[in-house]
Amino acid sequence: MRITEARVVVTCPGRNFVTLKIVTEDGVTGVGDATLNGRELAVAAYLDDHVVPLLAGRDASRIEDTWQYLYRGAYWRRGPVTMTAIAAVDTALWDIKGKVAGLPVYQLLGGRSREGVTVYGHANAEDVDGVLDEVAHYSGLGYRAVRVQTGVPGLASTYGVGGDRMFYEPADAAVPTENVWSTSRYLQHVPTVFRRVREEFGPRLRLLHDAHHRLTPIEAARLGSSLEPYDLTWIEDPVPAELQSGYRLIRQHTTTPVAVGEVFNSVWDCKQLIEEQLVDYIRATVVHAGGITHLRRIFDHAALHDVRSGSHGATDLSPVCMAAALQLDISIPNFGLQEYMRHTPETDAVFPHTYRYEGGYLHPSQEPGLGVDIDEERAAAFPYRPAQLPVNRLEDGTVHHW
């Protein structure tokens, strides 16, 4: 079954998405997410200029071989642009394989390991009272796990807060907006937030927090130990991801679990973290970590070391990525949690899908393949709009991690 065509579709139904659609000689189509937030056109060009010309005539059934061909064959390995482009091809080929087999992709991955995929939502607000309302909102929707972020007193704006509550979107301007950051204000404030949330919601609701790479290892260790009384499921991205040995220091000081990986592209980014059991959850995703083929390799490696999955699922990962992530989530033995931020109605209309949310769980599509598509006519009505992620500065103006 030969590939006859591959198309790259860039669309902006509220935010930018890049999607690859592969068509076979039998007219079977497959889709793959290729969205890299703030750098969308780099992946679109990588695909259009360097990958699409290699796809026509290839056997669509050879997923592994195509992955190796694009990864090893390019000589230049890894990196977010390359791995996102490879992911798009890989995801689309799994979609095609499922459709040809007449099975949802999770059946090809070994079948169900659980009844549903536990998800967490985002409760965010300027202050503690506001965030308590948001947590109540998610709890009312049946969520069993909620990520909690608030503004920090004395700082004008903070990552994870602001904009539309249900559809939070950080890439908000063509030239990045700038936030101001103070680690000491932050470290003093966060425990007071979680004390209030636990008081209000009791011990059962799972609580998470994202530090967004902003701390040094010893600062992260202090945050983890100050949050121990509130029994968090995880602190996310406590220190910059490239500082792998920094996680050793965090581990020596706190039993608060740690999750990392939304900016990881390959197993090589997390090998040490997994093998030394320095983290509890790996948050790599289908779209940024080489597709279903490579992400499954990462999760299998993690399973050997009692590390669970906790995949990134923010709004900049399209419904195509979510549909694919759910196929993995339901099948792997070491699933942990899936982030779920909900897309806007405009995005959902451009990407019709049959995965569904119910009572704290997402359920993958039962249709052959991934159970998601792109409506190219609708997509064409939403042209690309430049939008970048914000930049973060310390109070003295120094550029800091975002």
Residue 37 interacts with, from ligand EZ4, Co ion, none (CB under 5-8 Å by kind): ligand EZ4
Q: Which of 33, 40, 210, 219 binds Co ion (CB under 5 A)?
A: 210
In angstroms, what is the minimal distance from the CB of 283 to Co ion?
A: 7
Complex with Co ion: residue 54 or 389, whichever CB lies closer: 389
Going by C-alpha positions, the residue among 258, 385, 293 that lies closest to residue 32 is 293
- 261 sits in the region (left: phi over 0; alpha: psi -120 to 50; else beta) called left
The total of other beta-carbon atoms located within 10 Å of residue 228's CB is 12
Complex with ligand EZ4: residue 243 or 381, whichever CB lies closer: 243
Within residues 287-326, the interface with ligand EZ4 by CB under 6 A covers: 312, 314, 316
Active-site residue flag, 159: yes
Q: What is the DSSP secondary-structure string of 186-251?
A: HHHHHHHHHHHHHHHHTTTSEEEEE-TT-S-HHHHHHHHHHHGGG--SEEE--S-TT-TTHHHHHH
Active-site residue flag, 247: no
170 belongs to the binding site for ligand EZ4 (CB under 6 A): yes
40 belongs to the binding site for ligand EZ4 (CB under 6 A): no
Going by C-alpha positions, the residue among 140, 147, 141, 148 that lies closest to residue 120 is 147
Complex with Co ion: residue 51 or 241, whichever CB lies closer: 241
Q: Cβ(100)–Cβ(28) under 8 Å?
A: yes
Helix (H), strand (E) at residue 31: strand 29-33
155 belongs to the binding site for ligand EZ4 (CB under 6 A): no
90 belongs to the binding site for ligand EZ4 (CB under 6 A): no
Residue 90 interacts with, from Co ion, ligand EZ4, none (CB under 5-8 Å by kind): none
Which residues are catalytically annotated?
Answer: 159, 212
Give residues in contact with Co ion (CB under 5 A): 210, 262
Q: Where does this chain bind ligand EZ4 (CB under 6 A)?
A: 37, 170, 210, 212, 262, 312, 314, 316, 339, 389
